[in-house]
């Protein structure tokens, strides 16, 4: 995909990876750029920096998503690229209450379902569009310390694959972004074990993720891996699941000892 002159929407765009992607799109000559976040002040600040538009949106609110898509396409032009980057996490496992699990499921999976539900028909009619979903290496491997994040990011990857397979003949392209450790506010809030995991696996800056996104979109790659070693880890996991589980158990033990 050529992002020059494109109409691009970035959810979760007020900070972290979303902000870095927006900065890169702007630098590369995006046409109309829309920064979307529940953090209105943050979205406005990023938009002001880039000469973009800012929108306050709960990505799980379907009626609000419908209204936003319609308004953007009416005022700025057809959406060429939708970056579903908003995500949340919580430290813990099966002991976490249903409300916590459901909230993470809704943001990390259902928000993408909702966006695709209302973008795909428009893209089919126009003959194409590009959907970028920010998952995580946790969606290809797993994540220590936060079960809801690992589970929902697996769901995000599966959804991206399904959309890519189902709508390819209509010119719809999908990219699935799966970084490992990235220095973002969400990572810092995930808890001590999660922080130690990403440090152990190599923490990079959001700008490096944005650089990988630019290359991946230009190549129409499905899987975008800012940490290339994730591909090898995924192969090892698939090749010998028991050995991989044993290795992860040892890693967890070393980090909490």
- 149 as an active site residue: the answer is yes
Burial (0-12, 13-18, 19+ Cβ within 10 Å), 72: buried
Buried b (16+ CB within 10 A) or exposed e, 216-247: bbeeebebbbbbeebeebbeebeeeeeebeee
Tokens of 54: 């800012």
Convert 132-165 into a string of H (helix), E (strand) and C (coil). Answer: EEECCHHHCCCCCCEHHHHHHHHHHHHHHHHHHH
Which of 91, 149, 167, 233 is the catalytic position? 149
CB–CB of 248/62 below 8 Å? no
Q: Which residues contact 219 (CB under 8 A, 6 or more apart)?
A: none
Q: Which candidate, 113, 123, 112, places its Cα nearest to that of 78?
A: 123
Active site residues: 149
């Amino acid at each position: 995909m050529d992002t020059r002159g494109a109409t691009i929407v970035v959810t979760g765009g007020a900070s972290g990876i979303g902000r870095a992607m927006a900065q890169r799109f702007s630098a590369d000559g995006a046409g109309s750029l829309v920064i979307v976040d529940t953090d209105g002040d943050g979205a406005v600040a990023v938009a002001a920096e880039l000469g973009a538009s800012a929108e306050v949106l709960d990505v799980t609110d379907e009626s609000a998503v419908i209204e936003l898509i319609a308004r953007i396409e009416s005022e700025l032009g057809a959406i060429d690229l939708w970056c579903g980057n908003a995500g949340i996490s919580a430290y813990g496992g099966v002991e976490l209450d249903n409300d916590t699990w459901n909230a993470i499921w809704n943001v990390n999976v259902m928000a993408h379902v909702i966006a695709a539900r209302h973008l795909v028909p428009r893209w089919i009619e126009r003959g194409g569009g590009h959907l970028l979903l920010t998952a995580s290496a946790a969606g290809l491997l797993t994540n220590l310390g936060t079960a809801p994040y690992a589970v929902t990011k697996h769901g995000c990857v599966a959804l991206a694959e399904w959309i890519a397979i189902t709508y390819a003949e209509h010119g719809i392209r999908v990219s699935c972004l799966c970084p490992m450790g990235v220095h973002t506010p969400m990572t810092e809030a995930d808890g001590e074990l999660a922080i130690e995991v990403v440090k152990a696996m190599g923490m990079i800056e959001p700008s490096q993720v944005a650089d990988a996104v630019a290359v991946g979109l230009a190549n129409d790659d499905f899987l975008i891996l800012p940490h290339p070693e994730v591909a090898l880890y995924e192969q090892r996991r698939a090749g010998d699941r028991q050995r991989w589980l044993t290795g992860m158990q040892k890693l967890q033990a070393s980090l909490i000892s």
